[in-house]
Amino acid sequence: MTDDPQDGKTELAAHFDDKHGAQVVPAYFSSPKMAVGEAYIVDISRIKPSDEEYEKVFGRTEEEFNLLPIEQQEARKKSFVEEQLSRFEDAHKRAITTYENYLSDAENAPIEIQDIVKEVLGAEVRMVSDHTFKEGIQTLIKSGQSAEVALDGFYEEQISTFMAMGDEYLRARATELQQHRATMQHHLHPDKTLSAINDVKKGDILIMPSISLSAVSALCDSETGEKKVSGVLVDEGSLESHAAIIIDALGIPYGRLKQDDMKHIKNRDPIVMDGSENMVLLHPNKSVIKGYEGEVDKREEQFQALAKDSTKTKSVKTRDGEKVNIHANYAASFESHMIRETNPVSIGLYRTEVAADMRYDKESET
């Protein structure tokens, strides 16, 4: 298995392939699984104001503002500051609520990392609520900057300072600040969708740069073990990472695209993942979707039939009639539902290193 899509196929991403009834994008998969669904793109990226916005004072260019009569300048200052302070205050409150909701959702985190998740998110709630940051941004707004510019600039200064120190702990805090800024920026822009992995709808194909091992639990219901997503597509990370292995074990197709090809995907685009052909189909026609849905349903029926047989006896037959015993390869608590359904003879291997990696989330394992 190789981690990189075949370079010779990348030209297919640029045009519509009549044979497949869709735009064909080369990809590599952890297994020959298939999925059909709508793209759900996790987006918490920075919304940087333009250079022109950074140069404005009280919503006008400096020249335009200085040409106003003194009375109009004062009136403009008053109305502008009131409006921007109100917008920032609303975005700030929404950001705090967002992180409080994340903390509340921590109750559903895998038992292996629940204590860490609560601790980290609790710290983030306190961090995003910090009055020092709030007052610093308010001061910049009062000096004539828009809420967008004040928020972006103030956070950028703090982030740059932390990153320049070279300390691993401070660099981690800088990353958290980047996420806090992006969250507030999305709340400042109602037209921009703030999306998180926990908001994915059943049947969606999750699209994100990479997925950490600790985030894999969001892909299935903690109470029932039911899969929340049809598939996962990333543009970073190894196909042999612990996250990839567990996602595959949960029965969820996991594939990787090149970053340039990922840009072709828009939120809610129909997508087909075909691991048997190492390709992703974008904008498939109705006939293609129907055909793949039929194949996915057929495979699911076969799996359910095997699972049903395994609950009757410890011995299961393969497609060619050979009897086998199932010994579970157990790695994480959220796999327990699937293991119970398949009625294994025993836990053949307990992957304790997976739980350890979930607690100390390594970038190399994403």
pTM, whole model, 2 decimals? 0.62
> What digits encode the pLDDT tens for the residues 126-170?
988 999 999 999 999 999 999 999 999 999 999 999 988 878 788
> What digits encode the pLDDT tens for the residues 252-273?
999 999 988 888 898 899 999 9
181 and 218 housed in the same domain: no
**pLDDT class of 359 with cuts at 50, 70, 90:** low
The pLDDT of residue 275 is above 80: yes
**pLDDT class of 309 with cuts at 50, 70, 90:** low
* 114, part of any domain: yes
pLDDT of 363: 43
Asked whether the beta carbons of 37 and 205 are under 8 A apart, the reply is yes
The pLDDT of residue 219 is above 60: yes
- What's 17's domain CATH number? 3.50.30.10
The pLDDT of residue 173 is above 90: no
**pLDDT class of 11 with cuts at 50, 70, 90:** very low
* 18, part of any domain: yes
57 and 17 housed in the same domain: no
Residue that terminates a domain, selected from 167, 188, 209: 188
Element (H, E) at 230: strand 229-234
Distance between CA atoms of residues 249 and 156, nearest Å = 40
What are all long-range contacts of 45-48, with beta carbons under 8 Å and residues at least 24 apart? 45/182, 46/152, 46/178, 46/181, 46/182, 46/185, 47/148, 47/152, 47/182, 47/185, 47/186, 47/188, 47/189, 47/192, 48/152
List the domain range (segments joined by +) for residue 296. 7-43+198-365
Q: How many domains does the chain have?
A: 2
Task: Determine the average pLDDT of the residues in 67-87.
Answer: 96
- Alpha carbons within 13 angstroms on the beta-carbon side of residue 141 total 23
At 99, give phi and psi (nearest 5°): -75, -30
* 1, part of any domain: no
Task: Determine the average pLDDT of the residues in 189-194.
Answer: 71
Residue that terminates a domain, selected from 128, 153, 188: 188
- What's 71's domain CATH number? 1.10.274.10
In the block, which residue shows the tokens 């190492």? 278
27 and 58 housed in the same domain: no
At 172, give phi and psi (nearest 5°): -65, -40
Task: Determine the average pLDDT of the residues in 290-302.
Answer: 90
The pLDDT of residue 339 is above 60: yes
211 and 183 housed in the same domain: no
Residue that terminates a domain, selected from 188, 208, 227: 188
Q: For the chain, report the end-to-end CA distance as a whole number of angstroms.
A: 17
The pLDDT of residue 192 is above 80: no
In the block, which residue shows the tokens 């100390």? 360
* 2, part of any domain: no
162 and 291 housed in the same domain: no
Virtual CA dihedral for 52, 56, 60, 66, nearest 10 degrees?
A: -130
